[in-house]
Amino acid sequence: MIKREKGKMIQPRKAIQKMKPYNPPTASRKGKLRVDFNENTVGPSPQVLALLKKLNEEDLVVYPEYGMLREKLAEYLGVAKNQVIATNGTDEAILTVMSSFIEKDDVVVLPVPTFAMFKFYASIFEAKIMDILYKNDLSFPTKAVLNAINKKTKLVVLVNPNNPTASSISDEDIKKILLKARENSALVLIDEAYYQFMGRSSIELISDYDNLIILQTFSKAFGLAGLRLGYVISNEEVVKTLSKVLSPYSVNSIAVTCGIMALDDVAYVDEYVKEVLKSKEILYREFEKLDIKTYKSDANFFVAYFGDKATAIYQKLKDRNILVRDRTTYPLLKDCLRIGVGTRKQTRFFLYEVKEVLAEVGWKQ
Amino acid sequence: MIKREKGKMIQPRKAIQKMKPYNPPTASRKGKLRVDFNENTVGPSPQVLALLKKLNEEDLVVYPEYGMLREKLAEYLGVAKNQVIATNGTDEAILTVMSSFIEKDDVVVLPVPTFAMFKFYASIFEAKIMDILYKNDLSFPTKAVLNAINKKTKLVVLVNPNNPTASSISDEDIKKILLKARENSALVLIDEAYYQFMGRSSIELISDYDNLIILQTFSKAFGLAGLRLGYVISNEEVVKTLSKVLSPYSVNSIAVTCGIMALDDVAYVDEYVKEVLKSKEILYREFEKLDIKTYKSDANFFVAYFGDKATAIYQKLKDRNILVRDRTTYPLLKDCLRIGVGTRKQTRFFLYEVKEVLAEVGWKQ
């Protein structure tokens, strides 16, 4: 038996030692009103649910195959089959882009606050992260990002619309950034997890800018977060590189089968998006009446300012089984909560409960 | 529009450029006798299949939660909850161990031939891989591995029983390797994907050797390869480190739900293992009658030598919808096929077809 002496254990890489654990609050979310993770709040297409009942042992016992999913995705996106590849959620897509292109000390330009996994994976590959702060009104800092791009830049990360700010980047600004990045031999990674709610995508720029990589997901509008299905769209050379680094079986069979079925019922997603946009209008109107400051949103969530009542409101909503996201520790988001938008029915219920909670905390009385 | 000039595209890291793509032949395997990937050949527990019919929209729409799966795994394995963590198949487990501990130029001792993903991920993290050849009779090269371990070694990879050789490593040899590795501040990673067919595991050594990391999977005996569910067992410090590097949602919800159910019916796996072992006896006996050389196997597959007929036999079996694995290009395995073992019923069918094929190719006439 080997005696364990403190500090003599084999140590992880220094880069890993420095990393902080990222533990999102995922426990016990079922059966509640989940407007904390920006998922679809009701579920995927009924066709997908019906398919689940038809799965058989071969869907479980056999290693997954991806040919048909890639074809369906290519058709849906209007790209070639070799310009798209499925990943185990967006997380694996980010990991794979970083592991393919990022060397130690490469500079990654990252507008913040944003989705945590970019910094997470950039740290694993020991990139130098250059944070660029969003503007005070949470709009995209175009000038600052353009100024930050230089010969040392390897990757520029854009999240459009951004999480958690819900703000978007104009097509014109994206082109400017792509050009400046290209001149400096830098890649631009655009995460479009919520693009359906914004109503536009940068996919068509793939053919014009060979430094562009786009990420999309089935976790949000499609309502399949539990299955872990994301995908990367880029030119065929980049996709070929990513394929080399990806595990040959990272996406599971059920995600493949359900993903294909979900793409057969895109109308369901379109309807859900319309419903969310109507809900969002109601929420903005009611929040204005309640004198709660909100920020512009192009996504299925938004940031609202609750001053020194934010944490109390977060907790009291949670006690009522309504989950919003506490983002008060993020840059620019002091005293703010991020609130997801569901159906109008859910919104009416949400507003009723919010009003009760506001009364309890003595909101602007 | 940016004109694409050949060779001017942003290039991936040098380590990635050097990697060869790994494309296992996964297409169109359903509806065939699959003895090529060492999966369970019939399916998971009927309880798991029954569960599939009961899944609802919350299993798809909500991000996965892992608390209960970890508890169940810990109970099944006889370890503490913080000594085990689930991964998206064994692939992600290997990736995570490498990304946590391997720095550029660290030496990884790798007995070969073995499962391809160790070299795959070691290459991504730019390790120096020291291949140690198995013995000519495909038994484990204990002395050579012990001699290879020195101060430069960071990781020793053991696959027990090994794929594709099907040979195992004795408990005594494992302890010797763990000790030598520990003296040299090296980790030992044991992949036990097929341990149920061997009937023993090194899990109990976790408490004695703090440099030991064990991988197991639901893809083989449990019959859940399509779901991608693996797990890592180690001491709590190592598991804590791996947790930091793992994506917070890498394992999908269906894998979690089905994995928990599979652990509730371990008797099913025990029965399947017994059936496979009986089948293997039949196969060895019949192959001996047919004058086909086989190598000792402690797994649910074995290596058989077919001389210059190997490729023809592989192809003719494939034409009959029987999939075995061509391993003729692997070191030590020239003119060999790897053959999985299923139920006795499948084995009788397999042997019938093999005899037909042998007659067609004029085997030892």
Amino acid in position A158: L
- Global ipTM: 0.94
Is the pTM above the cut of 0.90?
Answer: yes
Residues B49 and A213 sit within 8 Å (Cβ to Cβ): no
For residue A22, what is the DSSP state? -
Most B CBs within 10 A among A34, A62, A90, A108, hence the mutation to make, goes to A62
pLDDT of residue B3: 52
Pairing of strands A336-340, A301-305: antiparallel
CB B335 within 8 Å of CB B365: no
Candidates A61, A71, A100, A102: best to mutate against B (most CBs of B within 10 A) is A61
The model's pLDDT over B196-219, given as tens digits with 9 standing for 90+, comes to 999 999 999 999 999 999 999 999
Expressed in percent and rounded to 5, the helix, strand and coil fractions of chain A are 45, 15, 40
Contacts of A172 (CB under 8 A, 6+ apart): none
DSSP result, B301-354:
EEEEE-GGGHHHHHHHHHHTTEE-EE-TTSTT-TTEEEEE---HHHHHHHHHHH
Q: Could you report the per-residue pLDDT of B158-210, keeping only the tens digit for each? A: 999 999 999 999 999 999 999 999 999 999 999 999 999 999 999 999 999 99
Q: Are B189 and B158 in contact (CB under 8 A)?
A: yes
A205 CB-near residues (< 8 Å, 6+ apart): A174, A175, A178, A212
Percent of chain B with pLDDT over 70: 98
Contact between B226 and A254 using a beta-carbon 8 Å cutoff? yes
Searching chain A, which residue's CA lies closest to the CA of residue B122?
Answer: A245
Give yes or no for a contact between A153 and A184, defined as CB atoms under 8 angstroms apart.
yes
Question: Among B146, B190, B137, which residue's Cα sits nearest to residue B165?
Answer: B137
Is the minimum CB–CB distance between B36 and chain A shorter than 8 Å? no
Q: Compare CB distances from B63 to A12, A37, A249 and report the shortest one's residue.
A: A37
Q: Tell me the percentage of chain A whose pLDDT exceeds 70.
A: 98
DSSP conformation letters of B224-288: -GGG--EEEE--HHHHHHHHHHS-TT-S-HHHHHHHHHHHTTHHHHHHHHHHHHHHHHHHHHHHH
Residue B31, chain A, CB below 8 Å: the answer is: yes
Q: Is B126 on the interface with A (CB under 8 A)?
A: no
pLDDT in tens, A280-298: 999 999 999 999 999 999 9
Residue A213 one-letter amino acid = I
Q: How far apart are CA B325 and CA B38, in angstroms?
A: 9
CA distances from A141 to A158, A230, A305 (A): 11, 27, 21
State mean pLDDT over A316-333: 94
HSE-CB at A223 with a 13 A cutoff on CA atoms is 27
Residue A1 has pLDDT above 50, yes or no: no
